[in-house]
Amino acid sequence: MSSRKILTIVHQEHSTTGRVGELLIARGYELDRSCPNIGDRLPSSLDDHAGAVIFGGPMSANDEHLPGIRTELDWLRVALDANRPVLGICLGAQLIARALGARVGPHPDGLVEIGYYEVRPTPQGQPLFDRPTMFYQWHGDCFDLPDGAAHLAESDACPHQAFRYDGQVFGIEFHPEMTRAMVERWTTSPNAAPKMSLPGAQPQAAHLDGYERYAAESDRWLDRFLDRLLPGEPPT
């Protein structure tokens, strides 16, 4: 019988899995949560899991001095070799890109994407992104495309918004997991105000207005994407 568990890797003690977690639970999956940054262990294999989702966080994929980030970079070969669906979101995608040998770093012009921005499919990405879509973003670093990966989506500031590697490993720079409560929490956190004044960032009011305007479309994409990531009947 197929596993009911999805490994979810988060990067702060109080991090939540948002709409991704809600939709996985609605499909009948159990979330197996791990936060290496607070000392949680990662499994030695994914044999007992149907797949893995690696979420975002405030640190950089280049923060190898942080034990949790070093642990994830070392562990990612387990996920990449597991023949299981794997999704990396923002920092998660950047960690996957680094594990595959790609560069991760700031935009050359110092731009950030913090707010809602249009993500457009590339020709290779059109089966996954059937139209340009507004997605929530919160990042300064971007990833280069790993060797052998398919380039799926782009934005004006960040040419590599999504990739697929080896059939069932996906990295996305944007955040389809957002709930309104998450948007409110992120934009009012102690470190939010300086970041929202960076070049390219949007003010808090635009974040909340964007959620009201674009969350339904982001949800529609996420629902379709999870069907593609985890095909077949959900576990019972």
Q: Which residues are the active-site residues?
A: 90, 175, 177
State both tokens at 140: 């300064």
State how far the Cα of 14 lies from the Cα of 149, in Å rounded to an integer: 32
If you compute the radius of gyration of the chain from its CA atoms, what whole number of angstroms results?
Answer: 17
CB 218 within 8 A of CB 224: no
State how far the Cα of 119 lies from the Cα of 113, in Å rounded to an integer: 11
Residues facing 164 on adjacent strands: 150, 170
State both tokens at 182: 């998450």
Residues facing 106 on adjacent strands: 141
Sequence-distant (6+) residues with CB within 8 A of 6 are: 24, 29, 30, 31, 32, 49, 50, 51, 52, 53
State how far the Cα of 61 lies from the Cα of 63, in Å rounded to an integer: 6
State both tokens at 195: 């970041």
